[in-house]
Amino acid sequence: MLHKRFSRDTPLTRKPSTSKERKSFNITQLRINSMDLTSQRKPKRKVLYIAKKGARVRKKRKIRDANGTGERTDTVDRISELPEPIIHHILSFLRCPKDVTRTSVLSKKWRSIWASLLTFDFDQKSFKAQGGVLADFTRFVESSLLTRIAPLVCIQKFRLHMESFDSKIAHHIDSWLCAATAKNVKELEIYVEVKKRRRYTLPRVLLSAETLTSLKLYGCKLDNYNDIKLPNLLQLSIKNACINVDIIQSFISSCPWIEDLRLIHCYGLDLLQISTLTKLDRLEVHECQGLKWVEIEVPNLQTFWYCGNHCKPCNIKLKCCKSLKSLTLKDTTMTDELFHDQISNCPVLEKLVLKECNALERITILSQKLKKLALIRCKKVSEVVVDAPNLHSFQYTGKRLVLFSMKTPELQEAKLYFESMAKGTSKQPSGGKNLRWLQLEEFLGKFNRSKKLKLVGRHDKHMLVSEELRDIRLFQVNDLKLEVISSSSNLEDILDGLLRTTHPETLSVVSPSNCEFLKLLHEKLINREEYPSCCRYYSRKCWRHYLKDVQVGNKWAELYPWSPTQHRTTIKLEWTDG
């Protein structure tokens, strides 16, 4: 009885007598009641928390039975578990800064990690497309650097693309580049559109950034800097700039580890001489006005690309380039003798491209290593002699039929684009065919028949695919394009490649009646979806979205008098405008 009387559940109370006691009693009672309510809510909140936590756990886990045994699979947020360097690499592919910030909604980790991105990409073109002006773009760059660059130790890449340059904001650009240099930037790309001869002059501190590995400049003004110090620079690209011998020699002497050097649309340089860059792997010179002499003596050079100006001669000397594997020349003044001298110094050459070499007349190539050969619009070339046992790919584009004499047993791919085939003046044999047409048919017949190859012919709005290269009879038409492709590649890729660039009105297939390519055409063209869903999320649609109607028949088959021994199927295609 005493325990019940003085327990907390039955407190001893007496009725207050005075008003002061009644007021004190009411306050005490209110506190006791509030404590009781609190003590009662705590268990409910705790239970509610446990229930919600259990619901989340049950939601994250799925129990499934496989072969009668219970197997528990935990679903994991893969995006949030990606390492930070990989997330930075993914974000580096997004060109627009607003797209980068939108990724913060993916997860809690991504919400803060975009701010630590080591790549800065400021493109006025994308900013201008949204209605912004130069002042808005300047404020945007300032605020972005102010909020993001301070906590970073280093910057992987800094890119600045400006379409409208004003000398009034030159000091802003200087501060941006100095801030990037202070944060040990590794890759720097500056594009400044040149208007009314106003060019942006690089700050000197930029050319002494010891952490810089890649430097790409467009439209910038380069003074005669004597204090260039870029010891770790591996890639240098200068485009649309005034340079001279002293500037190039300053870069070469202060950047001994350059592997990739490109000079594009530059002027003021008359001599390019390189011999001390022992690590140079790739060299490109594109249409540099006033360039008269190029002398390269680099043993480790593997790729050389030269595109000269029209009708302006330039003497090119490749000395000791014994490792050169890829050579591309666009020189309108290079003679047969000079070309053969260049080729003789490249014993391991694997790829050769001759483009618009209008002074060449007879091309002779003897090479054991050559794998790819391309002759593009060399106007005066009349004969091509090639002895290359390992040649796999050959391309020819021109307005005249050329006499081909080729010993290429391993040739697997050929593209022949004749822009004006019917204008040949060769003698006609008794059969009525142009002699060079017969030579072309003989050339196509020399492909290794042990390898499965296809011949694709294009003319105007018509296309023909031949499964075999036997008994070929070419039809003499203008603007004929011939391609020999490998049948070992994926058939769907072949079909997509045929219809991606052109929408032919007729597609003829010369093949056995049971070939796989015909079955694919029947499946993809005739039994196609009425409303394709393959490009639902893309603005640019594939050929399936423009194909309106398909008809199969033989009345269009006589467009090409091809092999009579093969079955010929002709499909008429109707396309929508687009």
pLDDT tier, 262 (very low <50, low <70, confident <90, very high otherwise): very high
Tell me, yes or no, whether 490 lies in a domain.
yes
Tell me, yes or no, whether 407 lies in a domain.
no
Tell me, yes or no, whether 33 lies in a domain.
no
| Residue with tokens 């006499």, as numbered in its chain | 403
Tens digits of residue pLDDT in 53-84? 444 444 444 444 444 444 445 566 777 777 76
Q: Quick one: which of 509, 535, 455, 519 has its CA closest to 487? A: 455
CB atoms within 10 A of CB 259: 16
For residues 203 and 175, give the distance between their C-alpha atoms in angstroms, rounded to a whole number.
9
Q: Quick one: which of 396, 390, 303, 389 has its CA closest to 355? A: 396
CB proximity list for 513: less than 8 A, separation 6 or greater: 567
Q: Provide the residue count of the chain.
A: 578
CA distances from 5 to 13, 28, 231, 372 (A): 11, 20, 91, 106
pLDDT recorded at residue 488: 58
Least confident of 180-184, 323-327, 353-357, 403-407: 403-407
Tell me, yes or no, whether 287 lies in a domain.
no
In the three-class reduction of DSSP (H, G, I as helix; E, B as strand; rest coil), residue 393 is classed as strand
CA distances from 50 to 45, 46, 47, 53, 578 (A): 9, 6, 5, 5, 59
Range of the domain at 506: 441-578
pLDDT of 436 strictly over 70:
no
pLDDT recorded at residue 483: 78
Tell me, yes or no, whether 13 lies in a domain.
no
32: left (phi over 0), alpha (psi -120 to 50) or beta: alpha
Token pair of 400 as six digits: 């005249």
Give 479 or 505, the one with higher predicted confidence.
505
Q: Name the most confidently modeled range: 358-367, 398-407, 436-445.
A: 358-367
Tens digits of residue pLDDT in 541-572? 888 888 888 888 754 334 344 445 567 788 88
pLDDT recorded at residue 439: 67
The pTM of this model reads: 0.72
Tens digits of residue pLDDT in 126-137? 776 565 678 888
pLDDT of 304 strictly over 90:
yes
Tell me, yes or no, whether 39 lies in a domain.
no
Domain count, the chain: 1
pLDDT recorded at residue 522: 80
For residues 297 and 276, give the distance between their C-alpha atoms in angstroms, rounded to a whole number.
8
pLDDT tier, 182 (very low <50, low <70, confident <90, very high otherwise): very high
Please write down the long-range contacts of 252-256, taking CB distance under 8 Å and 24 or more positions apart: 252/276, 252/277, 254/228, 254/229, 254/230, 255/228, 255/230, 255/231, 256/231
For residues 255 and 208, give the distance between their C-alpha atoms in angstroms, rounded to a whole number.
11
DSSP characters over 20-62: HHHHHHHHHHHHHHHHHHHHHHHHHHHHHHHHHHHHHHHHHEE
Tell me, yes or no, whether 111 lies in a domain.
no
Tell me, yes or no, whether 12 lies in a domain.
no
Give 550 or 119, the one with higher predicted confidence.
550
